[in-house]
Amino acid sequence: MSRPGLFALGALAGIAIGAAGAGLLYEIEIARLERGARQAEASYRALASAHAASDRAEASTLAYTVARVERCEAALVKCRAPITAGAVVPFEVTAYGLGCDAPGPLTAAGVEPVAGHTIAADPAVLPIGSRVRIAGKGERQVQDVGGAVKGRTLDLYFDDCDEARRFGRQVRAVEVLHVGGQR
């Protein structure tokens, strides 16, 4: 959906869209593109292994799927770019907790995770040591990475697995206070 289409969608839903709202809608569109890229890639793999390229109809479908994957990957380049200190950008924020899906007692930074402080991020976007302020959650520090944490996604650490599940998946404005590894 194009950006004007997103504004029209917001207007139809009765949402007043300001600059921050437009950014959040843009990030929702990026998340949709990421899902599309994953689905297209899965389709590509299934077609490549299940069908011979000799059949014209199958070759045409395969070419369409490859083109779709390439378009989605090109759209994702922007959301995976590093972010500078002072920037306020929307992130998809998820949660993890001890006992549900935390891999072990130590983070990638080699410290024990602390609820209300520790977050995981894509190190290509926010390296370990970065500090951010998440709208409604306060300041947090990147001390961990995760296999599913890609692009503009943050994973908040909670002591309680049930609390992490209740938090779910949200889009929040994030102010970058400090980028790890920079002075």
pLDDT tens column, 4-18: 444 444 444 444 445
What is the C-alpha separation between 121 and 128, in angstroms, rounded? 8
Residue 138: pLDDT over 50: yes
Average pLDDT of the chain, as a whole number: 76
**Nearest residue to 172 (alpha-carbon basis) of 144, 133, 140:** 133
Nearest-10 Cα torsion for 63, 64, 70, 75: 170
pLDDT in tens, 149-163: 888 899 999 988 888
Q: What percent of the chain has pLDDT over 90?
A: 23
pTM: 0.57
Contact, 72 vs 40, CB < 8 A? Answer: yes
Residue 146: pLDDT over 90: no
51 confidence band (pLDDT: 50, 70, 90): low
What is the C-alpha separation between 145 and 123, in angstroms, rounded? 7
Q: What is the pLDDT of residue 87?
A: 87
Q: What is the pLDDT of residue 9?
A: 45
Q: What angle do CA 120, 125, 127 make, to 5 degrees?
A: 60
Q: What is the pLDDT of residue 155?
A: 93
pLDDT in tens, 103-130: 567 888 889 889 999 999 999 889 999 9
Q: What is the pLDDT of residue 143?
A: 93
Q: What is the pLDDT of residue 75?
A: 58
Q: Is 46 left (phi over 0), alpha (psi -120 to 50) or beta?
A: alpha
Q: What domains can be seen in the chain, in order of their start residue?
A: 3-79 (no CATH), 88-178 (2.40.40.10)
